[in-house]
Amino acid sequence: MLEEHTITCPYCGEPIVVVVDSSAGDQRYIEDCFVCCQPIDIQVALDADGTVASIQADQENG
């Protein structure tokens, strides 16, 4: 199941929308900010029932 979530870019501070596939389990991936094009390290944690528990967005090197 695909879900849209809004995160804040850790570089420029702009809100951006990411799409999370909640059927894929916990995830970690790099996605470029749509505003400043910097690489964001995104970590998604799911609850036991498959709902998004948290989304962490950090600078790739931080």
In the predicted structure, residue 62 carries a pLDDT above the cut 90: no
Can you tell me the mean pLDDT for 27-52? 94
Q: Are 12 and 38 contacting, i.e. CB atoms less than 8 angstroms apart?
A: yes
Q: Are 11 and 27 contacting, i.e. CB atoms less than 8 angstroms apart?
A: no
Token pair recorded at residue 21:
């596939």
> What does the pLDDT read at residue 32?
96
List C-alpha distances in Å: 23 to 13, 15, 38, 57, 61.
29, 24, 27, 20, 28
pTM for the model stands at 0.88
Q: Which of 23, 24, 35 lies closest to 57, judged by CA?
A: 35
